[in-house]
Structure 1
Amino acid sequence: MRLPEELTLPDGMIPEETTDPPVTPRDAATVVLLRDGPTGPEAFLQRRVRGMPFAGGMTAFPGGGVDPRDEEASIAWNGPEPEHWARRLGCGTDLARALVCAAVRETFEEAGVLLAGESPDHVVTDTERYDAERHALVSKELSLAGMLRSHGLVLRADLLVPWSNWVTPEMEPRRYDTRFFVTTVPEGQRADARTGEAAEAYWRTPEDALADWRAGHNGLLPPTWVTLSELAEHEDVAGALRAERSIDKVVPKIVRQDGAWRVVLPEPPDRES
């Protein structure tokens, strides 16, 4: 997929001096929450607070870096085992477990959606009773494993679908190796904007979110723009969740062209070779 000519990066986002050697990316997870709307699937988007060290003011999906405690093996787990996720995500088993747990934790911290239940086939419907735990997770006073254990909850890894893998360009001072997941909001739950990292949050169809970008109403980084464009190809949430995708690591480059900073995507791998 080629990025449009209009998709440029703000000058203030690009460092005046690059780091040599490049900074090692931090592992992270991003989750695209989906729901079916009147005209097709809608995605939950957040406009990040301006002044944040990474992607301040940009519109993005919930997500964040892996916490070392996300690797805790004591978490009650339903769905494909970490070995399966390791094969799908192209990483080791411990990291695969941590990425799935980070996806669940960040989704709860930033959007109030909890992918867990009291049994392997159950998902909680009332997440407000876990408000204190949500704040404790944000402040790192509590781990996801500790929260789930204390309430007898099972992590629902089966509700997550891997989507893509993006790595921040080498010239950036803050770099992330981010696995993107998609899921749907469980019945009875509601995504909210009660996070200190977002100035606002809302639902948009991918087409409308891209139209907002073209009109200058939001700022999108390339991974968000590409993900929205891919989701726009699906008629409903079920279709997006069934999509067969290869999770290839995408490492863009940043170049200066025509007086603007542009992102160049690598050529896709040759599947027949």
Structure 2
Amino acid sequence: MTIDKTAIRDAATVIVLRNRTTNPHVLMGQRGSKAAFMPNKFVFPGGAVDAEDADVPLATHLPQVCRERLLEDSERDMSHALAVAAIRELWEETGLVLGQKGAWDMPPPADWASFAATGHLPSAHPLQFVFRAITPPGRPRRFDARFFLIDADEIASDLDDFSAACDELSHLQWIPLPEVREFDLPFITEVVLAEVAARAHDMTPPASVPFFKNNEEENLFLRLKGKGPMTGRSH
């Protein structure tokens, strides 16, 4: 079967803020030079939702307001799978554990074996849905990415230990928020970072979530649970 590489895939991205109320730092890494999507760019950990993610149990679930926002402008309920994907991608790409101590009731899927071996269950309550963006047409890969913000204090493992990370991202580091734009960033990452900076001192999930909705007809900047399109169009 031929896979359409330009089909839009659901994806989850994780923004981890450390010392957010005093001296905020954000966790980022660099994509490889040969990567088909955003080569050499500094990005947040994240990736596409896997089919198995919908079946992975969570010790705790997303905040209700985040689940409601994720249901908007969506053909089906992706909230559980997206939360699982966010935790899995954070683990795979950084080696950081977002979870709570506990034993699995079932054998974990292969992608979760190393996570389960740490003695933790994935826990979604710290994830706050703060942004959504669809990759514009014409790109080699297209994603419907939901961005989740978490406070680094919710991480169960050593914040400076990336030894369990895969090689998807290099130069993993905590970057001071005021200095992050000195790095080579994708456009959408810069937009999300502006939203994150505005929310650095707000510990509650947002009631309204920005949404870059790019499709073949038009590019709109909307707000989920807002009053409709915002002024202007994205370019």
TM over 0.5: yes
Unaligned runs of 5+ in 1: 1-20, 120-136, 213-217, 255-263
Q: Give 1:127-146 correspondences, 5 Å limit.
A: 142-144=110-112
> Residues 91-131 of structure 1, C-alpha deviation per residue, up to 9 Å, x if partnerless?
423x2211100000000111111111125xxxxxxxxxxxx
Q: Which is further off, 46-55 or 222-231?
A: 222-231
Deviation at 1:174, TM superposition (A): 0.9
Match of 1:166 in 2: 133
Q: Which amino acid aligns with 2:14?
A: V
Match of 2:32 in 1: 49
Match of 1:259 in 2: none
Match of 2:174 in 1: 203
Match of 1:180 in 2: 147
Among 189, 213, 225, the alignment partner of 2:190 is 225
Looking at structure 2, the residues matched to 188 and 22 of structure 1 have their Cα atoms a distance apart, in angstroms, of 35
Does the 8 Å CA contact 1:29/1:178 hold for their aligned counterparts?
yes
Q: Give 1:61-140 correspondences, 5 Å limit.
A: 61-72=44-55, 75-80=57-62, 85-90=66-71, 91=74, 92-93=76-77, 95-118=78-101
Among 238, 241, 244, the alignment partner of 2:206 is 244
Looking at structure 2, the residues matched to 240 and 112 of structure 1 have their Cα atoms a distance apart, in angstroms, of 26
Does the 8 Å CA contact 2:129/2:205 hold for their aligned counterparts?
no
Q: Give 1:143-158 correspondences, 5 Å limit.
A: 143-144=111-112, 153-158=120-125
Higher helix share: 1
Does the 8 Å CA contact 1:113/1:190 hold for their aligned counterparts?
yes
Looking at structure 2, the residues matched to 38 and 89 of structure 1 have their Cα atoms a distance apart, in angstroms, of 27
Would the alpha carbon gap of residues 149 and 85 (structure 1) be closer, same or farther in structure 2, given more than 3 Å must change? farther
The number of residue pairs the alignment matches comes to: 212
The alignment-based identity, stated in percent, is: 25
Does the 8 Å CA contact 1:76/1:153 hold for their aligned counterparts?
no
Unaligned runs of 5+ in 2: 103-107, 229-235
What TM-score comes out, normalization by structure 1 length?
Answer: 0.66
Would the alpha carbon gap of residues 244 and 150 (structure 1) be closer, same or farther in structure 2, given more than 3 Å must change? same
What TM-score comes out, normalization by structure 2 length?
Answer: 0.75
Would the alpha carbon gap of residues 37 and 24 (structure 1) be closer, same or farther in structure 2, given more than 3 Å must change? closer
Does the 8 Å CA contact 1:66/1:98 hold for their aligned counterparts?
yes
Looking at structure 2, the residues matched to 66 and 53 of structure 1 have their Cα atoms a distance apart, in angstroms, of 18
Deviation at 1:172, TM superposition (A): 1.3
